[in-house]
Amino acid sequence: MELTINQFYEIGKNAVRLYANGRTAKCLAPQAWRVLQRDRGTDISTENLGVVQSDKDSPFFWSRQWMLNKCRPNAVSFEYPLVTAYEVNFTDKGLPMSGGVRRDYTLEIAVWDVFRDDCLDGKRGECAARSINQIFADTDAILNNVLAFYRDQVLATTSKDPTERLYYLPWLKEQLRLGNIERYNVTYSLANTLGAKNQSVPFSRVERPAQKLYGTKARIVFSTSNCPAPVFDLSAKEYGVLAFEAGCQDCE
């Protein structure tokens, strides 16, 4: 069994949801997750990131603020830092008609934060009066932690649950230490999949000066199986096959 692209997005959502919020300054923990859907991520310049109500239970969006506001339909809200994923492109290895081909998704994972003009009060804190360079450093740290969360994802069974499920490996180890489970068996490691396709990972800074947004992004490749199972109507009485010599003919 392998992960799908939507499960890959779900992991990013969980990385934000389970980040140690409250144990550190608010600007040092991600507050929202969004899979950008428009070319080059223009959703990020909109007031609500292009979110619709049906995104609430999807892998494409999660917001700590919106959750605390009971996910009110007409009041989608979020706070920075924001973690985003953007699908640059994908490539099938082999022709789709051959079946069982692999698909490589090229994705950009980024962390964004807002530069605020609050330097005038002279009070320097963890979040107040941060320079753009400090925002680059803080978003870099968050991004590396999110990628580490991806690295430690496994499919496994446990002594309490024989069904293969997605787990965070350090969580499994902690449950074993606490005696909550007697054993676990890993059947798939996302680290192996990512490691094979990402011998080196390019990082770069991102910016949208008009919105005072700055951050850090990484470009990675996620590989999975692409096994379409098309279903066609086989009950038709007339298949409509043309003789080879008929060529292209107009409808009569």
Indicate whether 247 pLDDT > 60: no
CA 114 – CA 135 distance, rounded (Å): 8
pLDDT of residue 116: 87
Q: Mean per-residue pLDDT for 93-107?
A: 77
Would the CA dihedral through 215, 219, 220, 225 be positive or negative?
A: positive
Chain segment 121-155, per-residue pLDDT in tens:
556 667 888 899 999 999 999 999 999 999 999 99
Calculate mean pLDDT across residues 58-86. Answer: 90
Closest CA to 111 of 213, 7, 211: 213
3-state secondary structure of 144: helix
The reply to whether 182 falls in a domain is no
Residue 226 banded pLDDT, cuts 50, 70, 90: confident
Q: What is the pLDDT of residue 17?
A: 94
Residue 56 CB neighbour total at 10 angstroms = 16
| Structural domain contains residue 137 | yes
Nearest to 21 by CA among 145, 150, 140: 145
Q: Indicate whether 7 pLDDT > 60.
A: yes
The pLDDT tens digits for 19-41 are: 987 777 889 999 999 999 887 66
The reported pTM is: 0.86
* pLDDT higher than 60, residue 81: yes
User: Is residue 242, in this structure, part of any structural domain at all?
Assistant: yes
Cα(155)–Cα(118) distance, integer angstroms:
46
Whole-angstrom Cα distance, residue 75 to residue 87? 27
Domain range enclosing 90: 5-153+191-246
In this structure, is residue 96 part of a structural domain?
Answer: yes
Reduced to 3 states (helix: H, G, I; strand: E, B; else coil), residue 83 is strand
Cα–Cα dist 84/94, whole Å? 30
- Residue 180 covered by a domain: no
Is residue 33 a contact partner of residue 252, using CB atoms and an 8 Å limit?
no
What total of structural domains would you count in the chain?
1
Angle at 187 between CA 182 and CA 193, to 5 degrees: 135
Q: Does residue 161 fall inside a structural domain?
A: no
Specify the 3-state DSSP secondary structure of 232.
coil
Instruction: Provide the percentage of residues in the chain whose pLDDT is more than 90.
Output: 59
Query: Would you say residue 159 lies in a domain?
Result: no
CATH number for the domain that contains residue 46: 3.30.70.1700
From residue 209, how far is each of 111, 127, 190, 206, 213 by CA, in Å?
A: 15, 19, 35, 10, 6
CB atoms within 10 A of CB 213: 18
